[in-house]
Every structure is written in structure tokens, then in C-alpha cells.
């Protein structure tokens, strides 16, 4: 009995340590409690269903990706002369973007800006697997919307000194290399967002973020200035 008690004690201690490390990696107890207070059940599907019910906008410019895309007011930042659609969903990743690509392509878009991948890294996926999905995305766009111009956006750095993001900048740089190579392979523009948003140490500059991962208003100003050569018609 005593032996079973000690085994149980050690097992529970290991579980507690693992739980602490997981919470710390994802941002600490304060961030975990904040997330628990917000019920996000079904929100992903709600946003997809809303996209599907919206009218088609032939010739639109479409931004596709995760929360970095969703958080930006692209139509206000860029232009009123064409429809600029936001198809970003917080927490999204490359494989899921592929499944909802038909909704994007129904608009017969003139331009598609693809910005996704950091959640793949946070979920533990390796760069080659993520790049494989990028290749499939570009192939599908080329096949079903041959007149659309495709732009691949590199991932910005993170700043784990502000809050643990769940990934690191070495992995982001490796993925960006793969995304850039994909752009070369398909002869489409690659837009580097890492360098203009990084500080001298290669981390996301504190002036461009509040949480070390997502961009604030000033960060989006940098992004829009970087995109300007590709958004000036």
C-alpha cells in the first residue's frame, strides 16, 4: 500500500509540473485565467457561416489567415475603390485554411494575400509539413483562380520576453525560408514582415505589440507600408 501511495504521489507531482510548464509556455496563469473566462465554443464555425452568407464580390482583394489577418481593418487601411475582404479567423492554421479556400475563390478575387502559419508552429507542426500545405494552397488557387495574383506574407517575429507565445523565432525564421522558397517556386511575391517588425535582437519590437505575438496599431502601420507596393493597384 505504501508503495502505491508513493507512486501515486510521484505521478500527481509530475502531472502538476507538466501542467505548470504547459501554462507557462502558453503565457502564464494570468493569461490562462483570461482565456478560461472567454467562451470561444463555436466562434470559428460562426465566422465561417457568416462568410458563406455574405454576397460575392467579384474582383475583390482577399486577406486570408489567422488572428493577425482577422484583427486588421483591411478595407479601411487600404482602399475604398475595390472590395477588400477579411477572411482571417483567430486560431486558424494552414490545413484549415485549405478547407475554406472555396469560399475565398467564389469571389473570383483579383488578389489573395495569404498570412498564416504561426498557430501551426504553436500546435507543434514542423516547417516542412506547413510548407507542404502552403504549396497545396497556391496550387489550388492557381488551378481554380488562374487570374488571381497571390502574395505570400512571411510571419513576424514573436517576443517571448513579453509573454510566452508557444513558439520561438528560430522556428519562425525556418518556416519563413520555406514560405519564401514556395514563392520562388511558384513565381509569386514573398513579402517579408519579419525584418521590418524586429528589434536589434530579432524579437518582435515592443513598440509593435502588447502581448508579444499580435500586432498593435503601430505594427499594422508597418505592415501596410510594407504592403504598399502590392496594394497600390
| Residue found by looking up cell 528560430 in the block | 170
Cα(28)–Cα(160) distance, integer angstroms: 11
Phi, psi (rounded to 5 degrees) for 118: -65, -35
User: What is the CATH number for 137?
Assistant: 3.40.50.1110
Q: According to the model, what pLDDT value does residue 145 have?
A: 97
Q: Are residues 22 and 119 in the same domain?
A: no
Confidence of residue 7 (pLDDT cuts 50, 70, 90): low
Cα(179)–Cα(129) distance, integer angstroms: 11
Q: Are residues 152 and 212 in the same domain?
A: yes
Q: Are residues 32 and 48 in the same domain?
A: no
Q: Are residues 89 and 26 in the same domain?
A: no
pLDDT in tens, 157-193: 999 999 999 999 999 999 999 999 999 999 999 999 9
Sign of CA dihedral 78, 80, 84, 85: positive
Residues 6+ apart with CB under 8 A from 78: 61, 84, 224, 227, 231
HSE value, Cβ hemisphere, 13 Å, CA-based, for 13? 6
Please check the confidence at residue 8 and state whether its pLDDT lies above 80: no
Residue percentage of the chain with pLDDT more than 70: 82
Residues 6+ apart with CB under 8 A from 72: 63, 86, 88, 215, 220, 223
Q: Are residues 62 and 147 in the same domain?
A: yes
Mean pLDDT of 193-215: 98
Q: Are residues 159 and 222 in the same domain?
A: yes
Residues 6+ apart with CB under 8 A from 85: 57, 60, 61, 62, 63, 74, 75, 107, 109
Residue 13: give the domain boundaries. Answer: 2-36
Q: Are residues 19 and 117 in the same domain?
A: no
Q: Could you give the C-alpha distances from 157 to 8, 120, 168, 204, in angstroms and in order?
A: 42, 15, 8, 5
pLDDT in tens, 32-67: 443 443 345 578 899 999 999 999 999 999 999 999
Q: Could you give the C-alpha distances from 131 to 15, 48, 212, 215, in angstroms and in order?
A: 34, 24, 24, 23
Give the SS3 label for residue 103.
helix
Q: Are residues 139 and 27 in the same domain?
A: no
Quick check: pTM over 0.75?
A: yes
Residue percentage of the chain with pLDDT more than 90: 79
Show the cell assigned to 231: 496594394
Give the SS3 label for residue 186.
helix
134 contacts 174 by C-beta, under 8 angstroms: no
Q: According to the model, what pLDDT value does residue 137 have?
A: 98
Domain count, the chain: 2
pLDDT in tens, 78-100: 988 999 999 999 999 999 999 99
Q: Are residues 207 and 114 in the same domain?
A: yes
Q: Are residues 17 and 53 in the same domain?
A: no
Please check the confidence at residue 4 and state whether its pLDDT lies above 60: no
Q: Are residues 22 and 76 in the same domain?
A: no
Please give the angle made by the CA atoms of 143, 145 and 148, to the nearest 5 degrees: 125
Cα(59)–Cα(135) distance, integer angstroms: 23
Q: Are residues 88 and 30 in the same domain?
A: no
Amino acid at each position: 500500500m505504501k508503495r502505491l501511495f508513493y507512486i501515486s504521489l510521484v505521478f500527481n507531482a509530475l502531472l502538476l509540473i507538466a501542467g505548470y510548464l504547459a501554462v507557462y509556455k502558453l503565457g502564464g496563469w494570468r493569461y490562462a485565467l483570461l482565456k478560461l473566462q472567454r467562451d470561444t465554443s463555436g466562434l470559428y464555425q460562426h465566422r465561417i457561416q457568416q462568410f458563406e452568407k455574405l454576397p460575392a464580390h467579384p474582383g475583390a482583394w482577399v486577406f486570408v489567415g489567422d488572428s493577425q489577418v482577422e484583427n486588421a481593418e483591411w478595407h479601411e487601411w487600404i482602399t475604398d475603390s475595390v472590395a477588400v475582404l477579411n477572411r482571417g479567423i483567430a486560431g486558424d492554421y494552414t490545413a484549415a485554411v485549405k478547407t475554406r479556400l472555396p469560399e475565398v475563390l467564389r469571389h473570383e478575387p483579383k488578389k489573395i494575400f495569404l498570412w498564416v502559419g504561426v498557430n501551426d508552429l504553436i500546435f507543434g507542426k514542423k516547417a516542412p509539413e506547413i510548407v507542404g500545405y502552403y504549396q497545396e494552397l497556391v496550387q489550388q488557387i492557381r488551378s481554380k483562380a488562374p487570374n488571381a495574383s497571390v502574395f505570400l506574407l512571411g510571419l513576424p517575429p514573436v517576443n517571448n520576453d513579453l509573454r510566452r507565445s508557444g513558439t520561438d523565432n528560430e522556428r519562425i525564421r525556418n518556416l519563413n525560408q520555406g514560405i519564401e522558397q514556395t514563392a520562388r517556386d511558384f513565381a509569386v511575391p514573398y513579402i517579408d514582415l519579419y525584418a521590418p517588425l524586429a528589434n536589434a535582437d530579432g524579437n518582435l519590437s515592443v513598440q509593435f505589440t502588447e502581448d508579444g505575438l499580435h500586432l498593435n496599431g503601430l505594427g499594422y502601420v508597418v505592415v501596410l507600408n510594407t504592403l504598399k507596393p502590392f496594394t497600390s493597384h
